[in-house]
């Protein structure tokens, strides 16, 4: 029961009005439940948060930290999802009151392969959920 409520709260937090919004994302986003650590490249900030969604291009991280990031701020992101650890470089794209969106920039071939495998798993899981499985 608690998990259902948490998922409903998660879904509610992520809903944004879509009227008049132009979608600029190149990749499909998938819900994920992972914890992340983000360090601003110049060392001025380190924060932890929860990765709520991810795509091949980036992710959204919810945090309690008060973020003061300008768009384009370079960061290093480390997160663990489905028993895999991912470490990559990125840039902040947008900052909200309780989180921020990041674009993945530098990613080794090994990490990219792992991310693609994670996204396949998440895609399959969402497909099964849509079918009621």
Domain with 81 in it: 25-130
SS (H, E, C) 88-115: EEEEEEEEECCEEEEEECCCCHHHHHHH
Lowest mean pLDDT among 17-21, 41-45, 91-95: 17-21
Residue 17 falls within a domain, yes or no? no
Q: How many domains does the chain have?
A: 1
* CA gap 26, 80 in Å, rounded: 23
Nearest to 86 by CA among 114, 44, 125, 47: 114
The residue with tokens 């932890």 is: 48
**pTM listed for this prediction:** 0.76
Report the CATH number at residue 66. Answer: 2.40.10.220
Greater confidence (82 vs 11) lies with 82
- Burial class of residue 72 in the structure, from the number of CB atoms within 10 Å of its CB (0-12 exposed, 13-18 middle, 19+ buried): exposed
Residue 12 falls within a domain, yes or no? no
Give the per-residue pLDDT at 129.
Answer: 53
Residue 2 falls within a domain, yes or no? no
Residue 79 falls within a domain, yes or no? yes
Residue 66 falls within a domain, yes or no? yes
Residue 29 falls within a domain, yes or no? yes
78 to 4, 34, 123: CA distances (angstroms): 27, 10, 21
Residue 9 falls within a domain, yes or no? no
């Amino acid at each position: 029961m608690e998990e259902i409520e948490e998922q409903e709260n998660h879904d509610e937090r992520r809903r944004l009005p879509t009227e008049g919004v132009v979608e600029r994302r190149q990749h499909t986003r998938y819900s994920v439940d992972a914890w992340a650590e983000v360090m601003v490249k110049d060392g001025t900030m380190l924060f932890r948060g929860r990765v709520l969604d991810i795509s091949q291009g980036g992710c959204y991280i919810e945090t309690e930290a008060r973020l003061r990031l300008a768009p384009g701020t370079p960061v290093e992101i480390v997160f663990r999802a489905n028993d895999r650890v991912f470490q990559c470089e990125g840039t902040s794209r947008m900052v909200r009151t309780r989180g921020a969106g990041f674009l993945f920039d530098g990613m080794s071939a090994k990490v990219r392969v792992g991310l693609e495998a994670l996204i396949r798993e998440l895609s399959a899981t969402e497909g099964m959920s849509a079918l009621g499985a």
